[in-house]
């Protein structure tokens, strides 16, 4: 029977709390997020919406990091635990966002909104190619477990993307668009990290670099406008 290493649990819990403290959502972080995603001169209401977006994710991180560390059997700073934490946190946050807002202004698209209307084609194409390459490498070099993990990551990305596209609109139109785009780009980057990570070696390193690049790809300039 496997026992639980109490010292490891404490270390993971403390490190998870440190992550939360360092990334605590506030107005400064919300404003920085919006500026990074091309929302210029954000209003206080827009900043507040960005802070809510961050809270849905970051308040989950300590618990998810603890769980990921225990599952992987590794301690603080481990890349596997960090990727799993952010990946699952993004999934849960997007699923929670499917619930219609009660007291905030909703917006509706003037035209039907699809994935191609929100995400960068470069990000989408990079993800598809990366997954195909990863699948080939896993089949050649690895085994059934790694292939199952790769396919599981594809399912998670698909659910996140579906939720990001279809969740109820909330807040200002340009903020709503920017945050949907961010969710898709970040999840695609995380997905390719997991997929290539299953192949190991230089492929795993390439996955991390692609994650950083995809998560920082700016939104499209021709996103459909939303109206209240």
Distance CA 62, CA 117 (A): 34
Mean predicted confidence (pLDDT) in 23-46? 90
What is the pLDDT averaged over residues 6-33? 80
C-alpha 142, offset from chain centre:
26
3-class SS of residue 14: helix
The region of weakest confidence among 23-37, 96-110, 167-181, 207-221 is: 96-110
Environment class of residue 67 by beta-carbon count within 10 Å: exposed (0-12), middle (13-18) or buried (19+)? middle
Residue 5 reports pLDDT greater than 80: no
Buried b (16+ CB within 10 A) or exposed e, 133-145: bbbebbeeebeee
Q: Is the pLDDT of residue 157 over 90?
A: yes
Q: Which residue has the tokens 């939720």?
A: 163
Q: What was the pLDDT predicted at 100?
A: 64
Q: Which two tokens stand for residue 221?
A: 């300039």
What does the pLDDT average to over 49-62?
85
- Report the alpha-carbon distance of residue 197 to residue 149 in Å, rounded: 10
5-14, 40-49, 50-59, 120-129: the lowest-pLDDT one: 5-14
The values of phi and psi at residue 195, to 5°, are -60, -50
Residue with structure tokens 């998870």? Answer: 16
Q: What is the mean pLDDT of residues 9-23?
A: 76
Minimum mean pLDDT range among 66-70, 90-94, 174-178: 66-70
103 pLDDT more than 80 = no
**Site of tokens 């990334």:** 23
pLDDT, mean of residues 90-115: 65
pLDDT at 11 over 80: no
In which residue are the tokens 């952010």 written? 86
Task: For residues 32-57, give the mean pLDDT.
Answer: 90
pLDDT at 99 over 60: yes
Q: Which two tokens stand for residue 112?
A: 């039907």
């Amino acid at each position: 029977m496997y026992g639980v290493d109490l010292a490891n649990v404490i270390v993971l819990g403390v490190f998870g709390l440190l992550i939360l403290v360092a990334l605590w959502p506030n107005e400064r972080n919300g404003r920085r997020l919006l500026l990074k995603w091309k929302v210029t001169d954000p209003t206080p209401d827009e900043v507040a919406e960005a802070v809510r977006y961050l809270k849905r994710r970051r308040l989950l991180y300590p618990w998810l990091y603890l769980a990921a560390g225990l599952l992987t059997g590794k301690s603080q700073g481990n890349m596997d635990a960090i990727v799993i934490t952010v990946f699952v946190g993004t999934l849960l946050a997007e699923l929670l966002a499917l619930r219609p807002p009660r007291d905030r202004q909703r917006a509706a698209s003037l035209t039907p909104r699809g994935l191609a209307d929100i995400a960068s084609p470069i990000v989408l194409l990079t993800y598809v190619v990366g997954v195909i390459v990863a699948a080939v490498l896993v089949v050649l070099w690895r085994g059934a477990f790694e292939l199952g993990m790769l396919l599981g990551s594809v399912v998670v990305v698909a659910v996140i993307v579906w939720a990001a596209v279809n969740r109820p609109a909330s807040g200002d139109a340009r903020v709503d668009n920017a945050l949907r785009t961010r969710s898709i780009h970040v999840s695609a980057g995380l997905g390719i990290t997991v997929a290539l990570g299953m192949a190991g070696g230089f492929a795993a390193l390439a996955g991390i670099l692609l994650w950083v690049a995809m998560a920082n790809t700016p939104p499209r300039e021709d996103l459909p406008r939303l109206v209240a």
